[in-house]
Amino acid sequence: MRNSAAFINAIEVVSAPDVVIPDTATSLFPIGEAGGLSYYAYHTVYRLNIGGSAITSTNDTLGRNWSPDRSYLLSQSTAKSVSVEPKIVQYPDGGSPLIAPPSVYASAVHMADARVGDPNFNVTWQLDVDSAFGYLVRLHFCDIISKSLNDLYFNVYINGMTAISGLDLSTVSGGQLATAYFKDVVMNASLASDRITVQIGPLKEDTGRIDALLNGLEVMKMSNSVGSLDGEFGVDGTKASDSSSNKKAVAAVGFAMMFGAFAGLGAMAVKWYKRPQDWRKRNSFSSWLLPIHTGQSSFVSSKGGSGSGFGSKSGYTFSSTLGLGRYFSLSELQEATKNWDANAIVGVGGFGNVYLGELDDGTKVAVKRGNPQSEQGMTEFQTEIQMLSKLRHRHLVSLIGYCDENSEMILVYEYMANGPFRDHIYGKDLPPLSWKQRLEICIGAARGLHYLHTGTAQGIIHRDVKTTNILLDENFVAKVSDFGLSKDAPGNQTHVSTAVKGSFGYLDPEYFRRQQLTDKSDVYSFGVVLLETLCARPALDPALPREQVNLAEWAMQWKRKCLIEKIIDPRLIGTINNESLNKYVEAAEKCLAEHGVDRPSMGDVLWNLEYALQLQEANPPVSSETTSANDENEEKCEDEHGKGEKSESSATTAPSVGTNVSDDSSTAVANELFAQLAGMKGR
């Protein structure tokens, strides 16, 4: 304060690397990135070892003291402590024990057993703070409770606002369990008030176990506008900015925005009063009702009347409320794709081409550019927009933004570095995936499809499930893509009557015969994906003998002969636990049931695949044990099905399953076998 004295007894200088306080963090509000953190001074208000005991300075990597968290828990009955040996804690590339010692990450608090079928509560910590300052909240995580990857998803809230949504520690920690991870969140004084509340809770989506955890928590006071951590004056006597004046400015802006909104509504009311007589016949009421419209074409256009074709001047435009993300200019995307360089094409479809692009900040994206000559492409683009505007899930490819400049129709997606799942099974000279990796990819895809079927009020049927529409990111996390053929589920009805569309080899035969679409049609297609994953061959291959052309039929024949292990990918032989294989094939067989009512839901399929993964991890096979187990399995199958079928199969030579097959085999068989099906629109 003015006219007062200050003194100090000692100064201790501790050298620490830049990684301890990065220069950027996530801003809680407004949502975005806060920079320049290295220019602030910090005072640690709380440093808590969540779920563990006190850690003294002698046991810390930087001489810090960590306190237990129990006294700050709002309800101890909602929390359960867990701990492991600190030596199992790993640090990722770029991480450092200086951020927090292993003993912090070796203990945690997670959700207690509520003894209910669907627990839905948060674990809460409350911390009193000085409301005159902003704070840096550092959250420490380490998944020491999961048994497998991609099984734990949860949310983190600070003062009732979402700080982290759908946190998957398996991904952010580089695909490893028990790996340290921290997240910094900046909150200004207006949000901090006189208390900071930190909460963890389940994702409320069917994406794995219902749980959440936190290992450590630090709350650091940030210096104010004059560099002070205690008073309102700086060393030069400058007074810190008055928060009340900021509030007045905010109020003034609020009033201005409210006035603008009323003015806009008034203008629209005048427009409505002066509306043309033929307004009902026009393509879009927005072209005359709104005070301003672009007059350009867009993805969302009327199906009837003039101007329904691609490139028409219908007056439609994108709305930010559609959830389509960032707007890109055409020049930005031209630069990102090197002016639509043919060498940047990573995919081709009925809609047009998909290009690999790189934005100004170095982010790689997939740019889907519509073909103006393709009626199919236009229809699929409209469908994909409608679907993506209401879908957000870890195992669905995310939309980043769009461009509708100069009659273009362009969507920008997150880039999936490892491309289609099929490329890693056969057809490309890529390193083979292990059985565990294939199971995890199938589980991820199943989670995405299960969310499609159940995650929205009505549900969505994908209608084109196949290995080329399951994409893999840099960590081989599977994400379902291509919603151009998707349909809203029938709701209270049993099916949707619609023209048959899809990909040959994956088509549900019941849907093909009756033209009645249900979510069980996706289940059938996914069953083919499971066999494709196991056998490493296309769903249809016309180059093979007639009885082997259709993978689903051929594999089920070998399953009935109890010799499914004879046709699996040779690269997997000796690596699959026999019980895991049986559970996996059982799931595929149920998916391929002739009638939809006999097929499981995607939730049931997901459960079986997760069980197969647990069996594999619990008892990885040894080659000799695998041979013995296969013999036992054949004897068991012989008892179940009788010796006649088994003896018949003994005279049959199992074909050699190769990996060098043409990428275009599915298309070839479509032309060869199904050309006679008039009106059938295969892809």
With respect to residue 591, please indicate whether it lies within any of the assigned structural domains. Answer: yes
Q: Which two tokens stand for residue 90?
A: 């790993």
Structural tokens at position 178: 């028990």
Residue 423: active-site member = no
384 and 436 part of one domain: no
pLDDT of 136-147, one tens digit each? 999 999 999 988
Q: Is 556 within the bounds of a domain?
A: yes
CA distance 321 to 516: 33
Secondary structure of 289-326 as H, E, C letters: HCCCCCCCCCCCCCCCCCCCCCCCCCCCCCCHHHCCCE
**CB atoms inside a 10 Å sphere around CB 641:** 14
SS3 content of the chain, % helix, strand, coil (to 5): 35, 20, 45
Q: Are 561 and 450 part of one and the same domain?
A: yes
Last residue of a domain, one of 384, 414, 444: 414
- Whether the CB-CB separation of 532 and 422 falls below 8 Å is answered with yes
Query: Are 393 and 476 members of one domain?
Result: no
464, 508, 522, 569: which one is catalytic?
Answer: 464
**Are residues 69 and 201 both part of a single domain?**
yes
Asked if residue 235 belongs to a domain, the reply is no
What residues form the annotated binding site? 368
Residue 77 to residue 297: CA distance in whole angstroms: 57
Q: Exposed e or buried b for every residue in 10-19, given b needs 16+ CB within 10 A?
A: eeeeeeeeee
Report if residue 262 sits inside a domain.
no
User: Could you tell me the CA-to-CA distances from 588 to 43, 425, 560, 593, 606 in Å, in that order?
Assistant: 58, 17, 13, 9, 11
What pLDDT, on a 0 to 100 scale, did the predictor assign at position 320? 40
pLDDT of residue 294: 36
pLDDT beneath 70: ranges in the chain: 1-2, 116-118, 190, 192, 205-207, 231-251, 270-325, 349-351, 372-383, 385-387, 389-390, 457, 484, 488-502, 622-683
Residues 600 and 606: their CA atoms lie apart, in Å, by 10
CA distance 403 to 336: 13
CATH of the domain at 370: 3.30.200.20
Check: CB of residue 296 under 8 Å from CB of residue 405: yes
Same domain, 107 and 196: yes
Range(s) of the domain holding residue 454: 419-618
CA distance 599 to 453: 14
The verdict on 431 and 394 lying in the same domain is no
CB-CB contact of 466 with 521 (8 Å): no
Q: Are residues 151 and 52 in the same domain?
A: yes
Print burial letters for 33-55: b (CB count within 10 Å at least 16), e (below 16): ebeebeebeeeebbbbbbbbeeb
Q: What is the pTM of this model?
A: 0.52
| Domain end call among 163, 193, 222 | 222
Phi, psi (rounded to 5 degrees) for 185: -130, 130
Q: DSSP string of 325-375?
A: -EE--HHHHHHHTTTT-GGGEEEEETTEEEEEEE-TTS-EEEEEEE-TT-H
Dihedral, 147, 149, 152, 156 alpha carbons, nearest 10 = 130
671 DSSP β-pair partners: none
CA-CA distance, 48 to 218, in Å (whole number)?
A: 6
What's the pLDDT at 596?
87
**DSSP for 49-62, written as a single string:** ETTS--B-GGGSTT
Predicted local distance difference test score (pLDDT) of residue 378:
62
In the annotated binding site for ATP, the residues are: 368
For β-strands 67-68 and 42-49, DSSP reports them as parallel
Task: Give the closest residue to 637 by CA, choosing from 553, 534, 564, 587.
Answer: 564
The DSSP bridge pattern shows strands 470-472 and 419-420 to be antiparallel
Cα(509)–Cα(524) distance, integer angstroms = 9
85 in a domain, yes or no? yes
426 and 559 together in one domain: yes
Select from 591, 618, 645 the last residue of a domain: 618
- List, in sequence order, every residue forming a beta bridge with 401; answer none if it has no partner: 326, 412
Strand order in the sheet with 470-472: 419-420, 470-472, 478-480
**Count of domains for the chain:** 3
CATH number for position 479: 1.10.510.10
Kindly state whether residue 285 falls inside one of the protein's structural domains.
no
Same structural domain for residues 345 and 384? yes
Q: Is residue 244 part of a domain?
A: no
pLDDT tens, residue by residue, 631-680: 555 555 655 555 444 444 443 445 545 444 434 444 333 333 333 333 34
* Residues 425 and 383 placed together within one structural domain of the fold: no
- The CATH number assigned to the domain holding 115 equals 2.60.120.430
Tokens 């990597």, residue located: 61
Question: What are φ and ψ of residue 476, in 5° steps?
Answer: 60, 30
What Rg, from alpha-carbon coordinates, does the chain have? Answer: 30
Between strands 478-480 and 470-472, the pairing is antiparallel
| 371 and 470 inside one domain | no
Tokens of 123: 């674990």
Q: What is the pLDDT of residue 505?
A: 83
d(CA 49, CA 104): 6
Exposed/middle/buried for residue 315 (C-beta within 10 Å: 0-12, 13-18, 19+): buried
User: Is there a domain that residue 600 lies in?
Assistant: yes
**Amino acid 579: pLDDT:** 92
Write a three-state SS string for 210-256.
CCCEECEEEEEEECCCCCCCCCCECCCCCECCCHHHHHHHHHHHHHH
Residues 602 and 544 in one domain: yes
The confidence score (pLDDT) of residue 97 equals 92
Report how far residue 198's alpha carbon sits from residue 73's, in angstroms, rounded to the nearest whole number: 10
